[in-house]
């Protein structure tokens, strides 16, 4: 049972990793809000992170009960399929014959809101981890005096 302290820490750590990955993706979206070229061709496509719950014994899902908790993992990073932003700018190098440029489907305001959400979730995981530490401290004090 004493291992539960470390399990709680690992769970919170996985939450921190997940939220940090989300913040990285948001940063990438904001940085590329005006990128009209990307490796896959066309403008940059907004990315989103999809999380999934992680349970122990994932090799044998029948044994993975509600008590074998082990946090969260990043399931995939997916492209947002909404249409690109069209702007009229014939002077742009990537303008089509009619003078329209396809800009990424990134809306910076929306990204900022997501960023705050991710930050709050990150802080919540930090406070969970701090409480785990205070638990371990309290348990170690038993019998010392």
Query: Residue 128 CB, nearest distance to other proteins (Å)?
Result: 5
Q: Residue 41: exposed, middle, or buried by beta-carbon count in 10 A (0-12, 13-18, 19+)?
A: exposed
Number of residues that bind other proteins (CB under 8 A): 41
Give the C-alpha separation, 3 to 14, whole Å: 16
Binding characters for other proteins, 19-38, by CB under 8 A (x = yes): x--x----------------
C-beta of residue 45 within 8 angstroms of C-beta of residue 32 = no
Q: How many CA atoms lie within 13 A of 33 on its CB side?
A: 11
- How big is the chain, counted in residues? 145
Binders in 66-125 for other proteins, by CB under 8 A: 66-67, 69-72, 117, 120-121, 124-125
C-beta of residue 102 within 8 angstroms of C-beta of residue 92 = no
Q: Which is nearer to other proteins, 65 or 90 (by Cβ)?
A: 65
For 144, list phi and psi in degrees, rounded to 5.
Answer: -85, -35
Q: Which is nearer to other proteins, 59 or 140 (by Cβ)?
A: 140
Query: Residue 104 CB, nearest distance to other proteins (Å)?
Result: 23
Query: Residue 108 CB, nearest distance to other proteins (Å)?
Result: 20
Binders in 124-143 for other proteins, by CB under 8 A: 124-125, 127-129, 131-132, 134-135, 138-139, 141-143
Nearest CA to 14 among 144, 128, 140?
A: 128
C-beta of residue 88 within 8 angstroms of C-beta of residue 99 = yes
Give residues in contact with other proteins (CB under 8 A).
Answer: 1, 4-5, 7-8, 11-12, 14-15, 18-19, 22, 50-53, 65-67, 69-72, 117, 120-121, 124-125, 127-129, 131-132, 134-135, 138-139, 141-143, 145
């Amino acid at each position: 049972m004493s291992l539960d302290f470390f399990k709680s820490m690992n769970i919170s750590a996985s939450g921190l990793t997940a939220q940090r990955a989300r913040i990285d993706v948001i940063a990438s979206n904001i940085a590329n809000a005006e990128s009209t070229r990307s490796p896959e061709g066309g403008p940059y496509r907004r990315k989103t992170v999809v999380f999934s719950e992680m349970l122990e014994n994932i090799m044998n899902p029948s044994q993975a009960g509600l008590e074998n908790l082990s946090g969260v993992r990043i399931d995939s990073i997916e492209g947002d399929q909404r249409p690109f932003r069209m702007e009229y700018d014939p002077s742009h190098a990537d303008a089509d014959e009619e003078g329209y440029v396809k800009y990424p489907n990134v809306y910076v305001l929306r990204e900022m809101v997501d960023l705050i959400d991710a930050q709050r979730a990150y802080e919540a995981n930090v406070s969970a981890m701090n409480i785990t530490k205070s638990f371990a401290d309290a348990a170690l004090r038993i019998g010392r005096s």
